[in-house]
Amino acid sequence: MSHHPTIAVVGSGPIGSAYARLLLEGIPDARVVMFEAGPQLTGRPGESVRNIADPVEKARARELSQGPQAGEFRASLGIPSATVVEGMFTARQGTHLLDFGGEGSAHAPTFPAAAGATNVGGQGAHWTCAIPRPAFSEKVAFIADDEWEELIETAEGLLHAQSAAFADSAVGGGIRSLLEEEFAGELPDGYGPSTLPVAGDPQPDGTMRWAGADVVLGPLIEPGNPLAERFELRDLTLVRRVEHDGDVVTGVTVEDLRTHETSFVPADLVVVAADAFRSPQLLWASGIRPRALGHYLTEHPVVISTVALDAEKISRFATEEQLDEELARRATTAADPVAAVNRIPFSEPDHPFSLQVMYSETTPFPMEPGAPYSDNRWGYVNMGYGMRKFPRFEDAVTFDDAEPDYRGFPNMTITYELTEAELAEIQAATERLRRAGNALGVFVAEPRLMPNGSSLHYQGTLRMGDADDGTSVADPWSRVWGYENLVVGGNALIPTATAMNPTLMSVAIAVRGARKAVERLGAGAEASAVA
């Protein structure tokens, strides 16, 4: 163990950032080097692009995050530029499909919408910031409730959780009241319609400053802060291999994507938080191949819809004057169309779904001028249910050593299937979505099940478990089984079937992993200081 431990973190999303922060705060003489394959988008590393007011700059930041589908990069690979045709899958802004067609593309015919973001801040620069707590069977069975509660609170602090965002919106309140009436008596106490907890800081003008990896990094990116001196972020630097000598990890081999120079960076601890597809791919490429690696893939099947709020229904709870006030306030911050965020959380046994209800002035798709409800004064509700996928070994990303992908890594193939168990829950949730929509207004986009991969919440491929029995990749402290100093992080660790947005849970799991690593490395550093 070196006197000043060096920690290599792979990936600069919220999870890699949580590790960097907690390890530097916990080990006074440690150094963290964070490697990120994509570019830095904003002056402040990892900031949410939703905070960028200028639409041209915002579009540029999103394009830069789109890896193989970013214009220039795509052209250099000989892939035709993205002309969107009907029936073609496209990725959400800021992300890129893993199966993008052409040479070097992954194969994901049964999971076509699988996507990632390649930029400082990862998907966390583009996310919606919804951070509900996992509940009931969504939680990890082998972590005791009181410890879990504290881990979640710490994670909420790191993400700047805000449980009452837009709570003063009269229209938002009206939406909750209408949903309460519709589902009265069907939901357990405390699990009815409520404001959706989000990551961000409310501003005096009524808007949110949405949180990205920047808030998680916190003092590490504050000029002059002593922690910042021990932190280094290298963007456009691809980690090609985690090097190891038997069961001890020695460091990482990285490629500077600007110069294409490759070098070895020794490390006492390596944290891999490079998303649920690219983390297992990196481990595989490094010859670290536990049986469960890439398997037990889950996500949230999603049914979504858009509803025009009905004036008569909503005006039982909000007045025309209140709407005028809200519209005037929102007109000053047109860059962010979200005006209220509500939800009905997951509960058992009867509501194993998570409903997200976003109130906005606009629809997420263009409407024909003159079409019914195309100019709805009371605005629109974009809402959808997230549902469960039960983990099975056969749902997996697998890797082919013989076929390199566009980065030269063993290419990915995703195999995935919804079974009767999921289809029954999808049907039940779709019925509820129809009821919720009718309670609020008129559907301008009918409920529809999105293609597999659309949730962007990919879980299970680095599953954590309490026994090294082939059904998990990591131990209860996120260490890869058999490697004392290799830690993995991200939604991929989540072992359960969940319906809620996963980032808060993954940060909580990372807090537990980071504390264990601090204990081990911190003790080692102290021992060597004494010697």
Residues that bind ligand FAD (CB under 6 A): 10-16, 35-38, 92, 95, 116-119, 122-124, 126-131, 238-239, 273-275, 278, 282, 456-457, 490-491, 501-503, 506
275 vs 524 by CB, closer to ligand FAD: 275
User: What's the distance, CA 206 to chain centroid?
Assistant: 25
Strands 96-97 and 115-116, sheet pairing: antiparallel
36 vs 405 by CB, closer to ligand FAD: 36
Distance, in Å, from the CA atom of 79 to the CA atom of 71, rounded to the nearest integer, reads 10
Distance, in Å, from the CA atom of 55 to the CA atom of 62, rounded to the nearest integer, reads 11
154 vs 491 by CB, closer to ligand FAD: 491
Tell me the Ramachandran region of residue 362: left when phi exceeds 0, alpha when psi lies from -120 to 50, beta otherwise: beta
Torsional sign, CA 336, 59, 501, 303: positive
Q: Is 185 exposed, middle or buried (0-12, 13-18, 19+ CB in 10 A)?
A: exposed
Closest C-alpha to 502, from 23, 162, 93, 15 = 15
Question: Smallest distance from the beta carbon of 15 to ligand FAD, in angstroms?
Answer: 3
131 vs 383 by CB, closer to ligand FAD: 131
Tokens of 521: 């490395």
Amino acid (one-letter) located at 124: G
Amino acid (one-letter) located at 89: F
125 and 14 Cβ atoms separated by less than 8 Å = no
Tokens of 346: 């997951």
Tokens of 57: 């700059």
Distance, in Å, from the CA atom of 499 to the CA atom of 53, rounded to the nearest integer, reads 32
11 vs 524 by CB, closer to ligand FAD: 11
Amino acid (one-letter) located at 77: L
Closest C-alpha to 13, from 344, 347, 458, 521 = 458
Cα separation of the two ends of the chain? 12
| Catalytic residue chosen out of the listed positions 244, 300, 351, 457 | 457
User: What's the distance, CA 117 to chain centroid?
Assistant: 10
User: What's the distance, CA 368 to chain centroid?
Assistant: 33
As a residue count, the chain comes to 531
Which 3 state secondary structure label does DSSP give 188? coil
Query: 484: Cβ–Cβ under 8 A, 6 or more apart, which residues?
Result: 247, 248, 520
Question: Smallest distance from the beta carbon of 10 to ligand FAD, in angstroms?
Answer: 5
B/e letters for 104-113, b = 16+ CB within 10 Å, e = fewer, are bbbbbebbbb
Closest C-alpha to 192, from 202, 181, 203 = 181
Which 3 state secondary structure label does DSSP give 307? strand
313 vs 388 by CB, closer to ligand FAD: 388
Closest C-alpha to 251, from 239, 236, 262 = 239
Amino acid (one-letter) located at 139: K
Distance, in Å, from the CA atom of 173 to the CA atom of 429, rounded to the nearest integer, reads 23
Active site residue 300: no
Distance, in Å, from the CA atom of 275 to the CA atom of 122, rounded to the nearest integer, reads 8
Question: Smallest distance from the beta carbon of 330 to ligand FAD, in angstroms?
Answer: 21
Half-sphere exposure of 488 (CA within 13 A, CB side): 36
Question: Smallest distance from the beta carbon of 274 to ligand FAD, in angstroms?
Answer: 3
- Give me the residues paired with residue 474 across strands: 464, 480
Write out the catalytic residue numbers: 457
